Amino acid sequence: MSIYRATENYVYKTDECIGRGATGDVNKGVHKKESAKPILVMELCEKGNLLEVLREPSNAFGLPEEEYLRFFSHLVSGMKHLRQNGFSHRDIKPGNILVCIADDGSYVYKLSDFGTAKPLKNGDFFQSLVGTKEYLHPDIFKAAFIERHRPREFDISVDLWSLGATLYQTATGKVPFQPFHVRGDKPCKL
């Protein structure tokens, strides 16, 4: 049974959930009118996310070189845009990179899921333990699972670590580290 929900600008059906994350669901919606309020809206990415692409048998050992270079360029552009606007993503991983199909049939990779993103400039710190185990900066992993009672401060370098782990997985088809009791590509309940 479809239940319609609405925001000020959009209408969506709750039975048309196209994705789930740690901080919410992603629904296909219809725009009602224009608004001056800042919101995040993007086109439907028919191919899903990068993790799904990497699970295809042809990508079991990573993306082909030409496709990897396209992915690398798109992801670095997305990260550069985030940093220029003073944000840290804090949960970079293949499951948070959407894959759209361009008019010429090539893939376009887009960083998504900003549920844990935080305004963070150079020299700023945060203390919250967020991210996904396989992609966590070692200091966050240690604070979350090993030395839980020690004081903690993290900076924007956490994104670089997660970016590196994502780049490695996209090149090889495997995550660089398998934490003990790994739960797959699911967010930590820290």
The set of catalytic residues is 91
- The dihedral region occupied by 22, where left means phi > 0, alpha psi between -120 and 50, and beta the remainder, is alpha
If you ran DSSP here, which 8-state letter would residue 10 be given?
E
Neighbouring residues of 83: CB distance < 8 A, sequence distance ≥ 6? 156
Please tell me the distance from the alpha carbon of residue 12 to that of residue 4, in angstroms, as a whole number.
Answer: 6
Residues 6+ apart with CB under 8 A from 23: 113, 115, 116
Q: Are 13 and 2 in contact (CB under 8 A)?
A: yes
The torsion of the CA quartet 130, 135, 136, 142, rounded to 10 degrees, works out to 130
In 52-151, DSSP assigns E strands to 87-88, 97-101, 107-111, 118-119
